[in-house]
Amino acid sequence: MSTSAAPERPDLLSAVIFDLDGLLVDTEPLWHEAEVDVLGALGVPLERAQTRHTKGMFVKEVVRFWYERYPWSGPGVDEVATAVVDVVQALATARGRLRPGATAVIEAAGARSLGAAVASSSPMAYIEAVLASVGLGEAFAVVRSAEVEPFGKPHPGVFLAAAADLGVAPERCVVFEDAPAGVLAAKSARMRCVAVPDLEDRCRPEMGLADLVLASLEEMDTSCWARLGPSPTPGLATVI
């Protein structure tokens, strides 16, 4: 009888990485509101619909994007980015709500013994405040912010960092995302991806890269998990 170790399964799913804004928590409209208010006060003719151009980007990249098109005098990019975050954090902790199905998906990941992380383009202080405000402050083994990465999404850095913190190979991770930039980041990281776009993003070509596209997290049932691959469910032997 051979005593050699069983070969690793490349299709095994070991971890799940969640975006935050617009995916777990309904905060995207609040970001749009804050950007319009803060940048509008600086003379940027920004309307709600235009904020979709920068959805999923790190806040400093968003501010720089608009400064390059409508340069203003006075506060610099860093100062304006801080102002945007301050406004949206106050809005999010007061008015942010969990998206339908968010709690069930997090619980399903735990039932499958999957490591769980949040990886967001938002600043860490904001992420922690919002998670705490919706009762998810202790729900994740890892929380990563793109503010410590050289680039925000669609660069895969924040997802790769989350996987490294979890101790899981990127190929064994699945990312849940709502933004086109996040889907690109997940697939660039060689991870599986479940996209949950809003109506306006559903027809974006980036969504075609996702392994699954859902209208809501409430659609994430056992058949969807099975399509993503086997997972190390507690109490059950993994068949090799």
214 touches 35 (CB < 8 A): no
Q: Which two tokens stand for residue 202?
A: 């559903």
pLDDT band, residue 10 (cuts 50/70/90): low
* Catalytic site includes residue 11: no
pLDDT band, residue 188 (cuts 50/70/90): very high
Does 1 have pLDDT greater than 90?
no
pLDDT band, residue 58 (cuts 50/70/90): confident
pLDDT band, residue 9 (cuts 50/70/90): low
Rounded Cα–Cα distance for residues 46 and 31 (Å):
13
Q: Which fold has domain 15-26+97-228?
A: Rossmann fold (3.40.50)
Model pTM score: 0.87
11, 21, 26, 211: which one is catalytic?
21
pLDDT of residue 11: 81
Domain coordinates in residue numbering, the chain:
15-26+97-228, 28-95
Q: Which fold has domain 28-95?
A: DNA polymerase; domain 1 (1.10.150)
Give pLDDT tens digits for 18-57.
999 999 999 999 999 999 999 999 999 999 889 988 887 8
Q: Are strands 142-145 and 115-120 parallel, antiparallel or unpaired?
A: parallel
Q: Which two tokens stand for residue 29?
A: 């409209």
* Catalytic site includes residue 19: yes
pLDDT band, residue 5 (cuts 50/70/90): very low
Q: Which two tokens stand for residue 36?
A: 């319009």
* Structure-model confidence comparison of residues 58 and 201, the more confident one: 201
201 touches 178 (CB < 8 A): yes
Q: ∠ CA(173), CA(176), CA(181), 5° rounding?
A: 105
Region 227-240 average pLDDT: 62
